[in-house]
Structure 1
Amino acid sequence: MLKRFGCVSPYSKGLTLTAALSIIALIGLGQNYTQSLVNRGEDGIAVSNQAAYWILGEDRWSVERFRLAYETSLYLTIFLLVLYPVVLLLELKSISMRKSSRA
């Protein structure tokens, strides 16, 4: 659909947006996990920011669950960042092949 509107490299642009959102989630989950490690003598742990709250929800909070969510987000973000140059190269190769076949 994006190609109809003249968008060049729609897959890499979509992947860039996804990676950016993943980085925001990673930062929120990382901050939440590190905050849960600090024992302040309160009644328990809490979700420390809105991004982490959207991902974790309201139930079954634990330091282990916060760590697991952070690690999963970290691996997903690394995967997306490694995938980006591959997708971009494939798109550029596809564009150059289309241009050479037209000539």
Structure 2
Amino acid sequence: MTFYIGSIVITVIIGLLLKYSRLSHPFSRAVLMLIILNVVVSICLLENVFQNQNPVLNDGIGIRNSLAYLIIGEDGWTHELFKAAFDQSIFMTLILLGVYLILLITEEWPGKKRNTR
């Protein structure tokens, strides 16, 4: 969970920096970067789930990459923990996609000029 909170804080900072650099759609671009990072994390967690399906072949349960290690940590490795971390990552990706769509709509809304004839 610390990884996700840190990612959101960094995304807000990047969004503010993009806003002050006067780029169009700064916050949606920052959230898009977070979505891409979250997809990479989901792939790493999925790899970890698949690699630990048969602990006899892999000499026990282990973490296969550093991103999964950052998210899961050191204690209490179980198949359920790996699956729960992957499920949370997918859930966060879906939430971020919703936030991204809302931000795109709200950032574009003031730029639209309507004819009221």
TM-score of the superposed pair, with normalisation by structure 2: 0.74
How do 1:38-77 and structure 2 match up within 5 A? 38-77=54-93
How do 1:1-103 and structure 2 match up within 5 A? 1=16, 2-96=18-112
Shift of 1:95: 2.7
CA distance in 1, matches of 2:58, 2:38: 31
Percent of aligned positions that are identical? 31
Contact kept? 2:51, 2:58, Cα under 8 Å:
no
Which segments of 5 or more consecutive residues in structure 1 lack a partner in the other structure? none
Contact kept? 2:19, 2:27, Cα under 8 Å:
no
Structure with greater contact order relative to length (CA < 8 Å, sep ≥ 6):
1
Which segments of 5 or more consecutive residues in structure 2 lack a partner in the other structure? 1-15
CA distance in 2, matches of 1:43, 1:30: 19
Residues 36, 42 of structure 1: alpha-carbon distance in 2 compared, 3 angstrom cutoff: closer
CA distance in 2, matches of 1:42, 1:16: 36
CA distance in 2, matches of 1:94, 1:47: 47
- The AA in structure 1 aligned to 2:39 is I
CA distance in 2, matches of 1:42, 1:31: 13
Q: Give the count of matched residue pairs.
A: 98
**Higher Rg:** 1
TM-score of the superposed pair, with normalisation by structure 1: 0.83
